Structure 1
Amino acid sequence: MDIVVVAVLAGPAPAAVYTAATRFKVVGQLANQGLAQAVQTGLVRALAAGERERAGELYQAATVWLVLLTWPVWLAYAGLAPWMLRLFGPSYGSAVPVALVLAGTMMVATACGMVDVVLTAAGHTGTSLLNLLAAVGCTVLLDLALVPAHGALGAVAGWSAGVLVKNLLPLWQLHRRYGLHPFGRHTRAALRVRGWAAA
């Protein structure tokens, strides 16, 4: 949707730049979807049985694995963006700030873990829908305000705000309702398992 907004409000050239700089986010989304499928059944079972300790263990273990899998990718993308984007053409070098905002936003979102999956597993599908609507509304409003003057950078700022709303809002809701956090003592246990497997 935001690509269309950029094309309409700023023109096809900024839209092309924005498209090239943001296509890389699919990598992180694939890792998130794979882990979600792996732990969702266990989360539903644990939350339905009132086993918050087990739910917290699954949530934190999945979060640390998500961070370990994706943060190196985002850091590499941020570092290599000036060279990677110019492969599309010399004018695409202007998309480097877009890539940096994208990488930073995805790292924050990844650190929140699968908050929406946990929220829906707990049965709060209506709350999840409201969170999604809030994120979309935030993105659209900021796109309309920023894209005409800032083009692709304005669009990624709107997208970033929407992603942060979509992750931080359910993170607060999970903390308030269940006391669940993406990091904790189970994070250390997951890291020990990873270290043992690597050895």
Structure 2
Amino acid sequence: MNLRLSRVTIRRRSAEVVGSSRSFAAPVRETLALVLDENAPILDSDQDIDDVVLRLRGHLMELGHATPEPPRPAIEEAFKAARLLADIDVPTGHVQARVHLRQLAEAVNLVITELTNAGAVCGHQPECPSVENRDFQAAQVRVRHSEIGCSELCNGVLVFDDTGCLLPSGKVVDPRRPLPLVASGPKAVTS
């Protein structure tokens, strides 16, 4: 099982290095699948369970940065329950450790669900590109504001009808208009 966990970690790091369109939520969902997916292999060693618990604790800290301001009560409650489970030491005994791991995974899954419902995490499959990617305008429309001529994308970008954009950081991206055609007159004949 350690081999499989290592492959997931390597894939995650290589995707981050090359600037993939994966958001920070993609690795969280991969870890949750290791625990909650019915077809996932059973974690058969105490070390594997400890490794996944540590990974879930790290993911929980990363998710804390995605909390919208002001935080919604449902998100706060989900984080509170998940943090309480994350603070508990992994019980001794394989069965008790697996039960604790499953409870922690379900609590982190609830956090992801609440963040997705709040629009702080992309819930689309495949995931929408993040703002840092060149193809950030390929994200799906979250809300259409026809009265002002713009759409809010899943990654927080405002795209205006003239193709201009306003990034969440406040940076303005100029519209991409077609270049005007150059008028060409009759060519002079030279002898």
Structure-2-length-normalised TM-score:
0.32
Structure showing greater relative contact order (alpha-carbon pairs closer than 8 Å, 6 or more residues apart): 1
Higher normalized strand content (fraction of residues):
2
Question: Of Structure 1 and Structure 2, which has the larger fraction of its residues in helix?
Answer: 1
TM-score calculated relative to the size of structure 1:
0.31
